[in-house]
Amino acid sequence: MVAIDFGNVINEELNKKVIALSNYLSEHPLTGMIEVVPAYSSISIYFDIVSIQRIHHSRKVHQWISNELDKLACLQFADAPSNSKIIRIPVCYETEYGTDLPWIAGQKNISTDEIIRLHTSVRYRVYMLGFLPGFAYMGEADEKIIVPRKLQPQTVQAGSVGITGRQTGVYPLQSPGGWQIIGRTPLKMFDRDTDELCQVKAGDSVEFYSISKDEFENY
């Protein structure tokens, strides 16, 4: 695996470049490319070096790869076609599900209603998927609800909506998690029985909207 790093920052323009290059590589795979994985500001490419050697046996595979990456760096992706979608995600923000809402309200000295209003008033960008199947790293959350990670990860239920720093995300499966939990969606973020497998992909936009406990239970 090799990684192409564009810098250690969360930045929408950079992330657009990452996804454009990633889409380009998926459509124009390099020799021996197994898969390409975009992150916030970097791309990782997995290679089958046996098949590269078979074709380019006169050179060392790592030299061949590094040469290919140099060529990629010269490409421009100014107007990459976009296939991103806008996905609306229903969230029940009752404290039964949003277990950390009271704590955040105390820390930030704002009401839980205000936290919900702030969280639902932003259209988020899906920067990358990772950590768990279907877990989307989204940003940017409002400055007024910036909270740190928990010191010790705790068990988080599937569908839980969390925030930390300027990020927000939904836990698709029950898992240990360190983000502060503010609600829960009845939507299956990861579903092995659908063709897409996941509700969102990198580059998509997400809006959250509030639903009642009743709506959550009967969703």
Partner 1 sequence: MSLRIIKAGLLDTVQDLGRYGFQHLGINPGGVMDRSAAQAVNLIIGKNPGEALIEIHFPASIFLFERAAMISLGGADFSATVNGEDVPLWQPVIVAKNSILQFQKWKQGARCYLGVRETLQIEKWLGSYSTNLKAMCGGLNGRALQKDDVICFSDKYEYASWLGDKEFLILPWKADIGWNETPIDKIAFVPGNEWDHLTDDSKKRFLNEPFVIGSLADRMGYRLQTDLQVMHNGELVSSIVSFGTIQILPNGELIILMADHQTAGGYPRIGHILLAHLGVLAQNRPGDKIYFRITDWQQAEELFFKQHRHLLQLQNACKFRLEEFFNASH
Phi/psi at 116 (nearest 5 deg)? -65, -45
Which stretches does DSSP call E strand in 63-153? 86-92, 124-129, 136-139
With CB under 8 A as the contact rule, the residue among 20, 39, 92, 206 that binds partner 1 is: 39
Q: Which residue has the tokens 């791309």?
A: 43
Tokens in use for 182? 């503010």
Helix axes 112-120, 101-108, angle to 10 degrees: 100
With CB under 8 A as the contact rule, the residue among 201, 204, 206, 216 that binds partner 1 is: 201
User: Residue 112 in contact with residue 194, Cβ under 8 Å?
Assistant: no
With CB under 8 A as the contact rule, the residue among 192, 195, 209, 218 that binds partner 1 is: 192
Give the end-to-end CA distance of the chain in Å, rounded to a whole number. 42
Question: Binders of partner 1 among 90-109, rule CB under 8 A?
Answer: none
Q: Is 51 a binder of partner 1 (CB under 8 A)? A: no
With CB under 8 A as the contact rule, the residue among 129, 138, 141, 145 that binds partner 1 is: 129
Q: Is 198 a binder of partner 1 (CB under 8 A)? A: yes
Taking the complex as a whole, the smallest distance from the CB of residue 201 to partner 1 amounts, in Å, to: 7
Q: Is 179 a binder of partner 1 (CB under 8 A)? A: no
Taking the complex as a whole, the smallest distance from the CB of residue 7 to partner 1 amounts, in Å, to: 8
What Å distances lie between residue 112 and 121, 179, 180, CA to CA? 14, 17, 13
Q: Is 50 a binder of partner 1 (CB under 8 A)? A: yes
How is 54-78 classified by DSSP, letter by letter? HHSTTS-HHHHHHHHHHHHHT---T
Q: Is 163 a binder of partner 1 (CB under 8 A)? A: no
Residue type, 24: Y
Binding mask 13-32 for partner 1 (x = CB under 8 A): ---------x----------
Q: Is 155 a binder of partner 1 (CB under 8 A)? A: no
> Ramachandran region of residue 51, left (φ > 0), alpha (ψ -120 to 50) or beta?
alpha
Binding mask 60-89 for partner 1 (x = CB under 8 A): xxx---------------------------
Taking the complex as a whole, the smallest distance from the CB of residue 194 to partner 1 amounts, in Å, to: 12
Q: Is 35 a binder of partner 1 (CB under 8 A)? A: yes
Q: Is 13 exposed, middle or buried (0-12, 13-18, 19+ CB in 10 A)?
A: exposed
Contact residues toward partner 1 (CB under 8 A) are 1, 3, 5, 8-10, 22, 34-44, 46, 49-50, 53, 60-62, 128-135, 137, 172-173, 175, 190, 192, 197-198, 201-202
